[in-house]
Amino acid sequence: MFKLATNDTFSLGDRRVRRMGYGAMQLAGPGVFGPPKDRGAAVAVLREALAAGVDHIDTSDFYGPHVTNQVICEALHPYPDSLVIVTKIGAIRGQDASWLPAQEPEQLRQAVHDNLRNLKLEALEVVNLRVMGSPHTPTEGSIEKQMHALAELRQEGLVRHIGLSNVTAKQIEEAQRIAPIVCVQNHYNLIHRDDDALVDALAQQGIAYVPFFPLGGFSPLRSAALSHIAETIGATPMQTALAWLLHRSPNILVIPGTSSVAHLRENLAAATIRLSHEVYAQLDAIAAMTE
């Protein structure tokens, strides 16, 4: 069976994780709501990921809601010591599958308890505060109140490390005045490059940058140039997009999401792709071509 290399890692809090991880959002039902079509397949994806050496899984109790965490628990509990499960709080789901902000201190506390219960954990290793506003683009605004609530949960030992999601550089600075931030999870991929400067700034601080939608998310990346380059290096476009992210900066941890074992295997194998300077530069130029 394929195994991820052990030497390509980055720090996440006080742990080191492999830079190729797994995002569990696709394990809930359609629209990230309700149960998966095939629960056995969802369990199989998680077990295969771990068997291949994945030690970083991204989740949230608002996926499903509750469903994704319950599937993770069913598939993997008791968890190996090496596994870092990162979760996120800051939203709840409406009856109609909508994503509603839940940023009040009591709602954040409730979300931490929901995650603890459904994952069967006594403390959460990393919790990302998911800032709402525009769905996939950060919007300025103070996050002081939310950060104080998280800092309190950290002091109580329910949360070990704090991360941020869907945030601006200014919000990161504001948060860092309240508590240490170990990772940032924003929308970023080969084509969506708004955070280029932020990725580099976080690398300087040794903070992990974890792009969400690494493959384009709900509308997977499509580009003739990407397909052409992928063909020349003997990889699929999705593998090539992941390889570009892994080459982009050492602080990038990837969490591609899939509900399929076949796609999981394809994605994990991207960790073995070595891009020449020339191919990297060609991939790097695609975003400017698609603007």
Ligand X SMILES: NC(=O)c1ccc[n+]([C@@H]2O[C@H](COP(=O)([O-])OP(=O)(O)OC[C@H]3O[C@@H](n4cnc5c(N)ncnc54)[C@H](OP(=O)(O)O)[C@@H]3O)[C@@H](O)[C@H]2O)c1
Interface residues with ligand X (CB under 6 A) are: 23-26, 58, 88, 130, 165-166, 185, 212-217, 220, 238, 255-260, 263, 266-267
Distance, in Å, from the CA atom of 55 to the CA atom of 62, rounded to the nearest integer, reads: 22
Smaller CB separation from ligand X, 157 or 207 = 207
Q: Which residue, 191 or 238, has its beta carbon nearer to ligand X? A: 238
Whether the upstream peptide bond of residue 180 has omega within 30° of 0, thus cis, is no
One-letter-per-residue 3-state SS of 94-122: CCCCCEEECCCHHHHHHHHHHHHHHHCCC
CA dist., res. 45 & res. 129, Å (int): 26
How far apart are the C-alpha atoms of 51 and 237, rounded to whole Å? 25
Catalytic residue selected from 22, 63, 188, 209: 63
Q: Provide, rounded to whole angstroms, the least separation between the CB of residue 22 and ligand X.
A: 8
* Annotation marks residue 63 as catalytic: yes
Cβ proximity of 215 and 188 under 8 Å:
no
SS3 208: strand
CB 17, min distance to ligand X, A: 14
**Nearer to ligand X among residue 262 and residue 288 (C-beta):** 262
Question: Alpha-carbon distance 44 to 75, whole Å?
Answer: 8
Omega of the bond leading into 237 within 30 degrees of 0 (cis): no
Nearer to ligand X, 7 or 219 (CB): 219
Pairing relationship of beta strands 124-130 and 84-89 according to DSSP bridges:
parallel
Amino acid at 200: D
Residue nearest to ligand X (CB): 257
Q: CA 180, CA 161: separation in Å to the nearest integer?
A: 8
* Residue positions annotated with a catalytic role: 63
